[in-house]
Structure 1
Amino acid sequence: MNLYPTTPSSSYEQQQQQQQELSWEKISPDELLRRRDWNRGPLSDFFPRIPSKSLETVLDICISKNFVYQLSQPRWWNARRYTSIVIAHLRHNYTEYDALLRGEGGGGGVVQGEKVERFEARRRTGEKVWKVLREWCPWDDSNDQLERCFQATLMRPEERGAEWDPMDLDDEYELDDRTGPVDDPMDLD
């Protein structure tokens, strides 16, 4: 799995690549293993039926995003972040999402060579993603939260109000000011 973009198209992407390279260069092999173990438990708890190969891939993504379970955050905050990572993994590996973005998807009314905008591609692949997501997380008490998190990935950032939070389960939790697309945990790709 190549964790670094090959050809950054903007200075912002170059900055992101440099930050990622720096963070990876500073992490020892022992620290990488510790982070994998730290994330493995919560991921297995939230998605008890996730296949081993997908679990390992999602753990790699967590490390590449420099994410570990945050004890200082509420459980729902961590669940939202893990769910968004799993959804992105499903979208890219279990659906024709990437083919639609490249214009290689011939199904669903798309003409070969016609590129689809990413939120439209998300909408078209959403049913497959949801089906696998429900297989991996079978708990009925998680359905509402899981579905809100999933639905959030289908919404464009401009469709969300500043106060909008798909996981706003309790009024005591307020969104911070970091709601832009860069800091949006629901938008990984």
Structure 2
Amino acid sequence: MYRQGAQSTPTEDITFEEHQRRREWNRSPIRDLFPRVPAAAVERVLDLCIARPFTYNLSQSKLWNARHLTSIVVAHVRHAYSDYDLLLREQQVERFEARYRTAERVWKVLREWCPWEQSNEVLERCFKVTLLRPEERQPADAEWDPMDIDDYEEPERVNESESVGDPMEID
């Protein structure tokens, strides 16, 4: 049996083969949604998908799957590429206030990874919903809770240089 590490709670016992199968099943949809995501971030997001546990589900709509994968990516970016955890732990900032304070940085990274010219409705909606307290959300957003995905801890902040280096980057 293969058991996920402490940072990827909740855990479940799965075989190594099943672990690898789930990773590969989610890899292509993540790359489709976020074509510029760095390789190290893809690997971490794949681990988080397994830990949640989430596997792309052909029985569900493409929108349903995109929303869940995007929520996992948004949570990963918030924890790994912003000062979110620092604000929570060291400055004792309330969770939603910390999200608000880090929103600009999180959105910048997400747009680097998903550089479509036209609006990306799923990405924008997932991102904006995570900034709202549950009581502030619209009824359409009540059917799923992106906060469930955000309850993990990143071991350390990712090196900033990993999110740059694309020659097409205009910033």
TM tier, shorter chain? 0.7 to 0.9
Q: Quick one: which of 127, 133, 137 aligns to 2:110?
A: 133
Whole-Å separation in 1 of the counterparts to 2:121 and 2:136: 20
Cα deviation, 1:10-51, whole Å, max 9, x if unaligned, reads xxxxxxxxxx44xx22x1100100000000010000000000
User: Does the C-alpha gap of structure 1 residues 51 and 4 become closer, same or farther in structure 2, counting only changes over 3 Å?
Assistant: closer
> Please, which runs of 5 or more residues in structure 2 have no aligned partner?
152-171
Opposite residue 73 of structure 1, the aligned amino acid is Q
State the aligned residue count: 146
Whole-Å separation in 1 of the counterparts to 2:30 and 2:81: 18
Cα deviation, 1:122-158, whole Å, max 9, x if unaligned, reads 0000000000000101123452331121101101111
Give me the identity figure in percent.
58
Whole-Å separation in 2 of the counterparts to 1:184 and 1:70: 18
Of the two structures, which has the highest relative contact order with CA contacts closer than 8 Å and spacing of 6 or more? 2
Q: Quick one: which of 140, 145, 151 aligns to 1:164?
A: 140
Aligned-residue RMSD, C-alpha: 1.8
Residue 2 of structure 1 aligns with which residue?
A: 6
Residue 63 of structure 1 aligns with which residue?
A: 50
> Please, which runs of 5 or more residues in structure 1 have no aligned partner?
6-19, 104-113, 166-174
Larger radius of gyration: 1
**Given the two structures, how large is their TM-score scaled by the length of structure 1?**
0.71
Residue 73 of structure 1 aligns with which residue?
A: 60
Moved over 4 A (4+): none
Matches within 5 A, 1:98-113: 98-103=85-90
**Given the two structures, how large is their TM-score scaled by the length of structure 2?**
0.78
Residue 131 of structure 2 aligns with which residue?
A: 154
